[in-house]
Structure 1
């Protein structure tokens, strides 16, 4: 009996000891821990005030080390407090990276203010993260969590963390693209790259850590912007709408040149349907599903529509190139009365217009919804109208110039433009499917990143683009050889 009592006492003492040491279980431990961790922050502020950034960074690293020991307790008591501390820590890291005294000092003071708020009980008690739209600061926090798991070589947790970041990208991409198209493109590239590095065998933890650091460094300055102008709103529409506009212009120029009056109705129908479905889907994502929950599906939609549009653009480019011969064009005009062929081609024009507009339209609407809370309604509307006007002027000029071109140059120029869009849509589509995790990723440092062609440093997206280019070169050479041979035969017949 005495022995059983002794066992019970030992167990109770062990449980009591565990509760005291575990900040997630001990009442008030989060406040106590953050107060103890404030000392190195105060030291860092002191050094930064004196201009000694080297010592300030060492002091901050001591806080960072302490933070890694106590963060689970903070997270358990308040997810909001945890996010705010990690977000401000990211700003401190970025400030040290650019080595500017005023920014380092400000970032450290902001971190101290958040710590004091936690110590004073300024955050409500709450646990966990909701699957909903997040801010750019919170997205950076997800990246920092990923980096922590990578440094600890927790492969499964790191992959899960970067996947959470990828799913949440839809919530913040509008804020990013409004400020920098390059950062937007780099972010989507790096999200795929990090996943590939972590899923490789063996995982490349060192490069993955460097890539996450790069993302944090180039995204952090963008998180500080609190309001956008009408020009930011205009540039979103211009950048995102240009590819779709080029597709529609090529289609409209073709039907006008060929006299297919019915074609215009199908094209405009495809444009209207693309815009309508884009708007409905974006509103559902924003107000019903949430961007965080829809992130992976958005990548799948963007990927598949990009690939299907690329296939149709490839066919159209080949067909336009084949009509650059006057005799071929005259033969097509004579055969245009064949209803089945003409109707099929006209319907395909409408489908292609829909795919192009739907793919770009959905992203554009989501971008605008994402920045709506950080821009005045008047500025948003003015920006949209300016963007629409600029695209309208470009459309008029391109169609006007296109129709003025003689038949052969018109088809040659049109086929080149459409083939370029085919190359770009192929790269964008495959990259989106990689972002969704449907297609594997094999990174290569020998492949450059070129936004203009949607060229990404992965073999899965680059090889199809190379095949398309080589195929186009072969077709052109074969056609020229046939043309030259036919010309030689005709000359021989005349001589004979």
Structure 2
């Protein structure tokens, strides 16, 4: 029994290690790193001087890619050097949008001269960024600075400023979500939208200015609240825990219906592993790294975890739907004899439970830590208990109702719930990767913003969701046609 539990935990921890790994945490010799990255700048200058701006842009993009891998090292050595490089990179991007050879060359040569100065020790080392958490008031000031740069049509500095806001979001999101889930969702959507508007060619300054203005307007009233109630604390757990609960309950109901007792052990291992790792990671972020320093990496973790969970949920939904025929289910059970579920499926059940709980659990713990200084301890504990009780009641009702359902309706309802979560996790995962800057954003104002489905006005997140829905509809239609043809043949 002990070996079995150890095996389960080891597999889940390996999954966790794969999910959270990100090169942005690595640091090396910043001077040497810059010298290597500068080769791409030299190539870009050579191509630009020959009038080949398209290839010069590709060479510069290589520098930009390398920069994202080494910027943490520069940032820790010198905040001034880091900001100067970001500013000069903004000038290069803007010059390429103008498509003027002389301005591109001037911007690239300025960036090269700055890199050489830093690599040769021309910038004295300072304390780097102070990775302290910021208040919501500070966050609003960053937005106002972004608005100022947008009004001046300074694309590079505006992009740098909105990126700073995205990295700082983790420090204040707990304060926001405790007061308004809708404003929290709007904030994350608008942070991505503004970045896309500013990165467009040409930049959409007027629209970006309006979005930033709205963000300041709806966030400012929240900054004035100085204390939270037990119900604020309860709602955080209910909101964040409900999606993970739906995944776990669907898995639990399934293994109970199949009569496979081992499945429960894997699911509980995943749940407990997800909770444990969430708490540990959140505490490390808050007290060792700080939310401000971890902001971008948190979005990457949330994004990749959401995408991986969505893939597994898609498979689970398809498999549940395929078993909705009683004859197919009975045949499957007979084929597996006493083991209704293979070892691979058992591992995937535990891994899916882990990913769902870990994704929601980390944010929940960070939210609670963020609001801890503005709520009485007894109110925080009471709110947590109320939230846990409500989730427990919902879990009991879901399991009770699910087990009472006949076999076919049970599988049909379960497959619909799991598919809904698959669509939502897909939208949430891609949106988080956009927030981290890993995936570009193409704004689509005609697409509505629906939090229930994690639908955002972005083609990159919406198209995969549309493909999932159309694919599911096609499979259901094909299956119905096939069943009707089989029925007609039997007549």
TM-score range, shorter chain: 0.7 to 0.9
Q: Which has the higher contact order (CA 8 A, sep 6+)?
A: 2
Q: Which residue of 1 aligns with 2:322?
A: 322
Counterpart check, 1:246 vs 2:255: no
In 2, Cα distance between the equivalents of 1:332 and 1:174? 46
In 2, Cα distance between the equivalents of 1:129 and 1:150? 24
Which has the higher Rg, Structure 1 or Structure 2? 1
Secondary structure, aligned partner of 1:203:
coil
Secondary structure, aligned partner of 1:132:
coil
Indicate the RMSD between aligned Cα atoms, in angstroms: 1.6
Q: Which residue of 1 aligns with 2:198?
A: 198
In 2, Cα distance between the equivalents of 1:304 and 1:184? 20
Q: Which residue of 2 aligns with 1:349?
A: 349
| Alpha-carbon displacement from aligned partner over 1:174-213 (angstroms, at most 9, x marks no partner) | 0000000000000000000000000000000111111000
Counterpart check, 1:163 vs 2:163: yes
Counterpart check, 1:263 vs 2:263: yes
In 1, Cα distance between the equivalents of 2:308 and 2:201? 32
In 2, Cα distance between the equivalents of 1:332 and 1:239? 37
Counterpart check, 1:281 vs 2:281: yes
- The question of whether the paired residues in 1 share the 8 Å contact of 2:260 and 2:339 is answered with no
Secondary structure, aligned partner of 2:342:
helix
> Mapping of 1:22-171 within 5 angstroms?
130-171=130-171
**CA, structure 1 residues 340+330, in 2 after alignment: closer, same or farther (shift >3 Å)?**
closer
In 2, Cα distance between the equivalents of 1:418 and 1:270? 17
In 2, Cα distance between the equivalents of 1:336 and 1:422? 27
Q: Which residue of 2 aligns with 1:335?
A: 335
- The question of whether the paired residues in 1 share the 8 Å contact of 2:309 and 2:422 is answered with yes
Q: Which residue of 2 aligns with 1:374?
A: 374
- Please state how far the C-alpha of 1:342 moved relative to its aligned partner: 1.1
Range that drifts further, 332-341 or 307-316: 332-341
Structure 1 gaps, min length 5: 1-75, 77-126, 492-496
**CA, structure 1 residues 233+460, in 2 after alignment: closer, same or farther (shift >3 Å)?**
same
Q: Which residue of 1 aligns with 2:14?
A: none
Secondary structure, aligned partner of 2:446:
coil
In 2, Cα distance between the equivalents of 1:462 and 1:304? 17
- Please state how far the C-alpha of 1:341 moved relative to its aligned partner: 6.1
Q: Which residue of 2 aligns with 1:486?
A: 486
Q: Which residue of 2 aligns with 1:217?
A: 217
In 1, Cα distance between the equivalents of 2:438 and 2:339? 40
- Please state how far the C-alpha of 1:487 moved relative to its aligned partner: 1.1
| Alpha-carbon displacement from aligned partner over 1:46-91 (angstroms, at most 9, x marks no partner) | xxxxxxxxxxxxxxxxxxxxxxxxxxxxxx9xxxxxxxxxxxxxxx
Normalising by structure 2, report the TM-score.
0.73
- Please state how far the C-alpha of 1:489 moved relative to its aligned partner: 1.4
In 2, Cα distance between the equivalents of 1:439 and 1:453? 20
In 1, Cα distance between the equivalents of 2:478 and 2:129? 60
